[in-house]
């Protein structure tokens, strides 16, 4: 039996949008770590970073992940882009179920986030440069954490969701008991 579907990847790679479609198509609840933290703290991500610092936000992410691990019913989980970068989060993420890395090219990410002002890590410096250098470090970690890497460029969110559903059903079949 499959458990949760976990979407990881860089900011702007489509985790939330694809998560919404997956949740509708599979009839599973959607959880979004950023949205949960914002709701629980009553503050935006920008404000948490500004008033308490990034390290505090990372602690909130790890603590939330622990609580999600205790959930029985399968969910679609959309994660903040930095969550797998905390080393102690990687194993718990994998243990939750099928981890999928939504891979987007830096040019596409820049296009999507060009006018975004909700990501504190992109607030300063040359945005394109920042995205490329962060992806150089994060890309291998995302790939190594995920069971599947799905390329997103040139695809609609619905197409990406369909690809993930196929993978989910395949994994589910492969875990079925052979019966002897």
User: Per-residue x/- marks for ligand S3P, 66-95, CB under 6 A?
Assistant: --------------xxx-------------
Shorter beta-carbon distance to ligand S3P: residue 74 or 78: 78
Shorter beta-carbon distance to ligand S3P: residue 35 or 171: 35
Compute the least distance from the CB of residue 119 to ligand S3P, in Å. 5
For tokens 């860089």, name the residue.
Answer: 10
Cα 91 to Cα 11, 64, 69, 133: the distances in Å are 21, 14, 11, 25
Q: How many residues bind ligand S3P (CB under 6 A)?
A: 10
For tokens 């499959």, name the residue.
Answer: 2
- Element holding 4 (H helix, E strand): strand 4-8
Cα 73 to Cα 4, 83, 180: the distances in Å are 8, 22, 28
Compute the least distance from the CB of residue 130 to ligand S3P, in Å. 11
Residues 6+ apart with CB under 8 A from 69: 92, 95, 96
Binding residue for ligand S3P, selected from 5, 7, 30, 34, defined by CB under 6 A: 34
Residue 97 in the binding site for ligand S3P (CB under 6 A)? no
Distance CA 160, CA 22 (A): 9
User: Per-residue x/- marks for ligand S3P, 106-135, CB under 6 A?
Assistant: -------------xxx--------------
Q: Please give the residue ranges that form the binding site for ligand S3P (CB under 6 A).
A: 11, 15, 34, 45, 80-82, 119-121
């Amino acid at each position: 039996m499959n458990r949760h579907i976990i979407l990881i990847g860089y900011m702007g790679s489509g985790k939330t949008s694809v998560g919404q479609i997956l949740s509708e198509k599979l009839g599973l609840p959607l959880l979004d770590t950023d949205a949960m933290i914002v709701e629980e703290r009553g503050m935006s991500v920008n404000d948490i970073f500004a008033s308490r610092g990034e390290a505090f936000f990372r602690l909130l992410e790890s603590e939330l992940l622990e609580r999600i691990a205790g959930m029985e019913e399968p969910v679609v989980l959309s994660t903040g882009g930095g969550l797998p970068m905390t080393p102690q989060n990687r194993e718990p993420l994998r243990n939750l179920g099928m981890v999928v890395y939504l891979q987007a090219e830096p040019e596409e990410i820049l296009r999507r986030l060009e006018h975004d002002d909700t990501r504190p890590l992109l607030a300063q410096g040359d945005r394109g440069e920042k995205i490329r250098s962060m992806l150089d470090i994060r890309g291998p970690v995302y790939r190594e954490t995920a069971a599947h890497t799905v390329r997103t460029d040139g695809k609609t969110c619905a197409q990406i969701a369909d690809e993930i559903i196929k993978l989910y059903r395949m994994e589910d079949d492969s875990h079925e008991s052979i019966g002897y």
